[in-house]
Amino acid sequence: MIDEVISQFSSLQPEKYYDNAEIVHLTAKQIIKDFAMFGLDIQFSGNTEFAYMELMGQMVESIQGLLQHDSARLFALMYQIDLSQTAVDKCLGSSKNIAANLADLVIRREMLKVLTVKYFKELKNKD
* pLDDT < 70 positions in the chain: 1-13, 127
pLDDT attached to residue 6: 45
Domain count, the chain: 1
pLDDT attached to residue 3: 47
DSSP, collapsed to helix, strand or coil, labels residue 44 as coil
Residue 2 lies in a domain: no
pLDDT attached to residue 31: 98
CA dist 83 and 75 (Å) reads 10
Residue 100 lies in a domain: yes
Q: Containing domain of residue 109, as a range?
A: 12-121
pLDDT attached to residue 127: 65
CA 91 to chain centre: 15
pLDDT attached to residue 11: 58
